[in-house]
Amino acid sequence: MNERLNKINNLFGRLKDDRKRCLLSVVVNVQLISFIKSCGAGDVASLKK
């Protein structure tokens, strides 16, 4: 019984970590996009080539 509880707790702990990672990546992506926009559309076009 205790082993099962521990496994469940570990699973929930991992889920929380994944959520934090998801939030972090979203924040980083938003900052990247705003940085690219502030650089200007011309710079973005030259980056894509």
Tens-digit pLDDT profile for residues 5-33? 899 888 888 888 888 888 889 999 999 88
What are the extents of the domains in the chain?
A: 2-48
**Position 2 pLDDT exceeds 70:** yes
Question: Would you state the pLDDT for residue 13?
Answer: 85
pTM: 0.49
Please give the residue that has the higher pLDDT: either 15 or 42. Answer: 15
Average pLDDT of the segment spanning 22-47: 79
Q: Are 43 and 36 in contact (CB under 8 A)?
A: yes
Predicted local confidence at residue 28, as pLDDT: 92
